[in-house]
Chains A and B, each alone.
Chain A
Amino acid sequence: MADLTHDAFTYEEGWTAVSPRLVTARRISLALTYLFVVVIVVVLLVVPDVPVWVPLLVAGIGVVTFVWLWWLIGRRVRSFGYAERGDDLLVGSGIMFRRLVIVPYGRMQLVDVKAGPIDRMLGVTTVQLHTAAATTDATIPGLEPGVAAALRDRLAARGEERSAGL
């Protein structure tokens, strides 16, 4: 089989990136999480006897980490990708800690398709492959629902053809 890439972590032809809408979905979740920080800051401002620098410090840390995570989400989403080959599926992810998984179709035990409320609103879906090994971490987030369903059906069909017990 021809190499799709010369280096495990540079994606070339044949690779599919995930939908950029995943960036929006993840940024919305991030913003919702940070509402909690806003609440803390407001409470600290309202409560008497708390020196003013305390809420300011919390807010400062909040803003810095928020901006950093906001930027990181963009990069992380671009790092996801997958490629369907003749006998196996490749799934890549990660920036700092990069990872590439090769799952032979015949080893797939089940394929999950799932989407949370925000994901559904924006039309992104996660496809997750399971083998008999718990350490197989093959998750493709951020697919459009139609693409995800088609991928699942293709994977299931190929898995069926090549399945060979454990």
Chain B
Amino acid sequence: MSGQDPSRIGDDLGLGLTVPDIGPVDASGRRRVHPITPVVQGVSILPFAVFLAFVSGGGILSRLGLGAFAGAVVLILLIVGVVIAFGYLRWRILTYWFDGDGDLRVDSGVLTRKERRLQLSRLQAVDVSQPFFARLFSMAELRVEVAGSGDSRVKLQYLTLAQARALRNEVLARSAGIHEDAGEAPEDLLAKVPARDLAVSLLLRTRTVTLLLLSAGFLTITVMTEGWGGLILAVVTGGVPILIVVSEFLRYYGFAVSEAPDGLRTRFGLLRTETRTVPPGRVQSIELVEPLLWRHWSWVRVRVNIAGVGSDDNNNGKTETLITPVAPRGEAIALVHRLLPGLDFDALEWRSAPRRCRRRSPIQWRRIAVAWDAVVLATRRGRITRRLAVIPHARTQSVRVTQGPWERALDLASLHVDTTPGPVSVTAPHLDASAAWHVAQEQADRAHRGRGSDTSTHWAAH
């Protein structure tokens, strides 16, 4: 671990384009995002505009009598101009403030006006992120996520990094029910992922390795048969995993987890940096994933479901919400303990699937098991990629038992504990049918009792 101050990880690049903060815009305390926002948005669109211009657009305009190069330049300026103009209109409309009840209010929308009120007692996560082009201006965007189905977030684009952080702290403090000027909570670095481990772990994921082996196979066949068909397949099966590895490496580079009184904070990213703060008690379910080739180092990936986060992220579809992309087992379990204090993996009594399960799942049947204690239910499955999912009883949304025709013939049934949308699913497939039904009924009871002791709103006010 370097001696670097954890709060500096993922800071802006600056590049001498640092712009001064501006204060609130009117007497009632309504604030605006930074006036440089339209320019940043215009610059951000540049690569796309250049791509478009040189792929197609230059040709069309050159027919109107301009040279190809001049045509391309005109098109780029046009696109950037439109983006800046529209960005300016949006900037003029967008205001945000805290209302009398201490909730965050945001007015936005050029054509369709939208007035949104975020009930901060239902806050799920706050992200401060710096897309690459915004970083050049040391600008950042703030995303505030509350519980709700569908689109239940606001995105404030762009603030200076200092403003974004101050606003994040204010949102967290108000959500916790403590004084709004509490300032930034001191934080404690828990774990940091070395770049080498990240790269190696991404390359050794089961999916990556399978696809790369497949493309090696295609290449061998291509060489041996001197045909060309296999080459195209190999480009796809080889190209896709390499793209995934590179993009995940850039995304999770420098991953660091730290703990602050206002929540667990994760920071990551090489070009685009992100800082996500998840207040205590917001994690709905947790999963430890261990691909086959990670076991040599006993590495684990820790994923979580957080209500509303990553479910319909319009930037990049479904994004994984990670507590760590890769960590040694002991470290990962320590992180899980921070999220669910009092959980003891070794004390869990696993109830396995019956032996006849091997006729339904010949590979993973030995691993399938379910366990529970006073606080959580856990399921275990997968032999090549091992998965261990944990859900607190108080976070159980509903319980399902399903049975397909083959399971029915073997008197097996699958148990599912439903959790909010996200990468984790809590499933124990192919258990003994009556055992599954029994566990399901008991789980419904435990869920009912577990909810009594729920303290996830205004967590610091107790």
Contacts and interface: CB of A to CB of B under 8 A. Distances in A.
Interface of A: 1, 3, 5-9, 87-88, 96-104, 106-107, 109, 130-138, 162, 164-166
A164 B420 CA distance: 15
Contact of A96 (B396, B400, B405): B405
A104 B448 contact: yes
Contacts of B451: 104, 106, 162, 164
Nearest to A106: B451
Nearest to A1: B445
A131 B418 contact: yes
A109 to B, nearest CB: 7
B407 to A, nearest CB: 9
Interface residues of B, number: 42
17 contacts: A8-B413, A8-B436, A87-B448, A100-B400, A101-B398, A104-B447, A106-B448, A107-B398, A109-B149, A131-B397, A132-B307, A132-B397, A133-B420, A135-B400, A137-B400, A166-B307, A166-B395
Contact of B396 (A5, A9, A107, A138): A107
Mostly, the B contact residues are: mixed
A5 to B, nearest CB: 8
Given A7-B433, A165-B456, A101 B399 contact: yes
Contacts of A162: 448, 451
B416 interface: yes
A139 B398 CA distance: 13
Given A100-B402, A136-B400, A165-B457, 13 more contacts: A7-B437, A8-B437, A87-B444, A96-B405, A102-B398, A104-B448, A132-B307, A133-B397, A137-B400, A164-B394, A165-B147, A165-B454, A166-B147
B122 A165 contact: yes
Interface of B: 122, 147, 149, 284, 307, 311, 394-405, 408, 413, 416, 418-421, 425, 433-434, 436-437, 440-441, 443-445, 447-448, 451-452, 454, 456-457
A53 B413 CA distance: 46
Contacts of A137: 400
A3 B401 CA distance: 15
Contacts of A88: 444, 448
A132 B147 contact: yes
Contacts of A6: 434, 437
Nearest to B405: A96
B425 A135 contact: yes
Nearest to A89: B398
Contact of A99 (B394, B401, B444): B401
Nearest to B419: A133
A102 B454 CA distance: 20
A8 B403 contact: yes
A133 B418 contact: yes
Nearest to A95: B405
A135 B445 contact: no
B444 A135 contact: no
A109 B150 CA distance: 13
Contacts of A87: 444-445, 448
